[in-house]
Structure 1
Amino acid sequence: MGCDGGTIPKRHELVKGPRKIEKVDKNAELVAQWYYCTLSQEKLSRPIVACELGRLYNKDAIIEFLLDKSSDKVLVEAASHIKSIKNVIELNLSDNPAWTGDKGNTKGDKYDDIQSARFICPIVGLEMNGRHRFCFLRNCGCVFSERALKEIKTEVCHKCGASFQDDDVIVLNGTKEDVEVLKKRMEERRLKSKLGKKSKKSKAAETTVKPEAAEDLPTSSQVNTEKDIANMKSGENRSIAFCKSTAVSESPSSSSGKSSKSSSEGPKRSFASRGEKSEAYKSIFTSHSSAKRSKEESSNWITHTAYYF
């Protein structure tokens, strides 16, 4: 009896307790955030970019994501806020001289040190492996550890010298609270940029409308020229009227002047017609008595001059 193959279950097999929650391996999570692209899940390789929420991407993956306009495109939650290439900033990273990479692990029998990272903080020297908080500046893209920015407080970048403010500091792979703060800042910046674009468009429209209205209205120079033309015309009319009046008034005087001229010229003509000439006028000619010589004054030459008489 009892050899029919049946078994009697025990109590712990019948009573099922609550399932244990599987814990995510922190090391695997850190490796996924700091060593792999958030969008394509490939290893991070230069050029590396970061969004305004502090997530790391390969620039090639972002460009392919933006160029993909197909209807069956899967909108990844990690890149839903990226609308253009301007929404990401290329990072200026500092290489870790102690990082060997995959050179010594060609056979796969070498232990990979997770603590060793490819990039470090250029000020303090901390490795960017997720164990320490890192930030980047939105203006220039330079990456530093949060400890370096707190210890050396300045408004100028330690690496390139670009000026920045507190709002320009973005935490890389921060906590949920950090992401919420960064999201609010991102929305505020985008609203300001939209309002700035609208104001620029309105100003441009006003500048285009003003010249059209100015073309319809006469300018001050045109008004002045029209006034000058009107004044010249009125002056010409006055001068014409004045000339006419003077011509009418001067007509009797001119006739009297003509009569006086004729009367004055009359005695001259009569004097010339009479042949009465003065002695000074007569002395000019050789026929005058003063030009004749006496016999004593005349020479004995055979050849006589025109003055020999």
Structure 2
Amino acid sequence: MACELGKLYNKECVLELLLDRTKFECASSFSHLRGFKDLKELNLTENPAYEKPKNEKGDGYIDTNIAPYICPVVGIEMNGKHRFSVLWKCGCVLSDRANKEVKGQICHKCGAPFSPEDIVILNGTEEEVDELYKRMEARRLQAKLEKKSKKAQKHKVPEAAAGSASQEFESATASKLSRIEPGTSQNGLTNGTSSHISKLANGKADSRSRRMNGKTEEAKKPKNGGSVQDNPKASKVYKSLFTTSDLAKNQQNAHWVTFNPQYN
């Protein structure tokens, strides 16, 4: 694994460091490692010519001078003589010669896009480490600002929804008031007494009184003592309801033995 400063680590040792820093005397030099997210697992390319060391006779160490990993583009062995770099987005490890000869902003191994700021030189010089440290601070500051902006947007969404709902309610009430009396506003109503409401109440009372007067005039008997049959305003159907009508006089009464419902 590698950090944003281009230093290489063993995965097991890094986990032990993050779990308990008191076990390591040099833990202060790794203060930039806040968690496992600050590390990138390297996507290395194995060397097909490399063979694991076999059990040789004797106590001597036999060096085959073959590195276990190579550059996937140029084929240079990763033996410490050549400079290598890691692309921070995808984790692929390429040689500097491959980055210079094959130009472009697409990874030559996995095809993922990257920017020049994503190139982290492995085991670089002090000047290169200082430059990588500045990039690391800028990247972390940008991540904090993005988190704050996302939180602010989440809080703004319910407020905007509440504001739109209140505006819709106000517009609906205004439309209802405008339907009652065009040309008037909400301020025209003061304490429940307005000229428009009084006009409506007076109009309803007048129409009700007119209806009642019309019904009573038609239904009332003449005050002079005459019968309903002599009233010229009464209809034939209305006159037939009374016993003084000709239909009632000519109608036969029902017999008590053979009751017929057609008779009275």
Same fold (TM over 0.5): yes
- State yes or no: 1:131 paired with 2:81: yes
Aligned pairs (5 A) from 1:140-155: 140-155=90-105
Counterpart residue number, 1:224: 172
Root-mean-square deviation over aligned CA pairs: 3.7
Q: 1:77 to 1:112 in 2, by over 3 A?
A: farther
Question: Could you say what secondary structure the match of 2:232 adopts?
Answer: helix
- State yes or no: 1:66 paired with 2:18: yes
Unaligned runs of 5+ in 1: 1-48, 276-309
Describe the superposition over 1:47-88 as per-residue Cα deviations: whole angstroms up to 9, x where unpaired.
xx1101111111222122111165x65352542211011111
Q: How far off its partner does 1:118 sit?
A: 1.2
CA distance in structure 1 between the aligned counterparts of 2:57 and 2:34, rounded to whole angstroms: 40
Q: 1:251 to 1:67 in 2, by over 3 A?
A: same
CA distance in structure 1 between the aligned counterparts of 2:106 and 2:166, rounded to whole angstroms: 54
TM-score using structure 2 length? 0.68
Letter in 1 for 2:210: T
Describe the superposition over 1:30-62 as per-residue Cα deviations: whole angstroms up to 9, x where unpaired.
xxxxxxxxxxxxxxxxxxx11011111112221
Contact 1:104 1:110 in 2 (8 A): no
Letter in 2 for 1:91: L
CA distance in structure 2 between the aligned counterparts of 1:106 and 1:190, rounded to whole angstroms: 53
Contact 2:218 2:233 in 1 (8 A): no
Question: Could you say what secondary structure the match of 2:86 adopts?
Answer: strand
- State yes or no: 1:84 paired with 2:35: yes
Q: 1:54 to 1:214 in 2, by over 3 A?
A: same
CA distance in structure 2 between the aligned counterparts of 1:172 and 1:263, rounded to whole angstroms: 114
CA distance in structure 2 between the aligned counterparts of 1:177 and 1:166, rounded to whole angstroms: 17
Question: Could you say what secondary structure the match of 2:9 adopts?
Answer: strand
Counterpart residue number, 1:254: 218
Question: Could you say what secondary structure the match of 1:136 adopts?
Answer: strand
Q: How far off its partner does 1:180 sit?
A: 1.1
Q: How far off its partner does 1:260 sit?
A: 2.5
Unaligned runs of 5+ in 2: 181-196, 222-227, 252-264
CA distance in structure 2 between the aligned counterparts of 1:242 and 1:220, rounded to whole angstroms: 37
Q: 1:270 to 1:203 in 2, by over 3 A?
A: closer
CA distance in structure 1 between the aligned counterparts of 2:220 and 2:249, rounded to whole angstroms: 25
Q: How far off its partner does 1:103 sit?
A: 2.2
CA distance in structure 1 between the aligned counterparts of 2:19 and 2:142, rounded to whole angstroms: 26
Q: 1:249 to 1:78 in 2, by over 3 A?
A: same
CA distance in structure 2 between the aligned counterparts of 1:91 and 1:84, rounded to whole angstroms: 17
Give the one of 236, 239, 245 matched to 2:209: 245
TM-score using structure 1 length? 0.59
Question: Could you say what secondary structure the match of 1:109 adopts?
Answer: coil
Question: Could you say what secondary structure the match of 1:182 adopts?
Answer: helix
Q: How far off its partner does 1:106 sit?
A: 6.5
Q: How far off its partner does 1:171 sit?
A: 0.7
Give the one of 154, 167, 172 matched to 2:117: 167
Q: Name the % identity.
A: 39
Instruction: Tell me the number of residue pairs that the alignment of Structure 1 and Structure 2 aligns.
Output: 221
- State yes or no: 1:205 paired with 2:155: yes
Q: How far off its partner does 1:241 sit?
A: 2.2
Q: How far off its partner does 1:152 sit?
A: 0.6
